[in-house]
Amino acid sequence: MDENKLLQRITVNPKIFGGKPIIRGRRLAVEHVLGMLAAGDTTETILEGYPWLEPEDIQACLVYARRHVAHERIEPLTIEKTPPRPGSAVGRLTVVEDDDSHLDDFGEYMA
């Protein structure tokens, strides 16, 4: 089935789950289906638990998730075992050399 056709199964209703994406206007959030799949539940198990659900609904959840994360850039935080070079980036943290030569003994700026 075409991805755009599948995505028509994903709807949003502000009165259901605060407007989170749901399946065909029903009280089943896309995130819940994705969570079940991530936990190892099979499509068959999910379909047994929700008799009104169709295999295309689960496929639509996966398409929705893929399209959503396709627009994100995830930068994992890397922890180095050796001290980083001054000014180098470590994950999302930037290490800046602390140069306090412009301060006097009391932490005040020297003229």
Over the stretch 36-60, which tens digit does the pLDDT of each residue have? 999 999 999 999 999 999 999 999 9
| Fold designation for 3-69 | Arc Repressor Mutant, subunit A (1.10.10)
Q: Dihedral of CA 13/19/20/21: which sign?
A: positive
| Backbone dihedral region for residue 18 (phi beyond 0: left; psi -120 to 50: alpha; all else: beta) | left
21-23 vs 10-12, strand pairing mode = antiparallel
- Sequence-ordered list of residues with C-beta below 8 angstroms from that of 36, at least 6 positions apart, any chain: 45, 46
Paired tokens of 38: 């991530």
Ranges of each domain in the chain: 3-69
Measured distance CA(38)–CA(36) in Å, rounded: 5
Measured distance CA(62)–CA(68) in Å, rounded: 10
Q: What is the pLDDT of residue 108?
A: 47
Over the stretch 2-40, which tens digit does the pLDDT of each residue have? 999 999 999 999 999 999 999 999 999 999 999 999 999
Residue with tokens 């980083």: 84
State which H helix or E strand residue 69 sits in.
Answer: helix 55-69
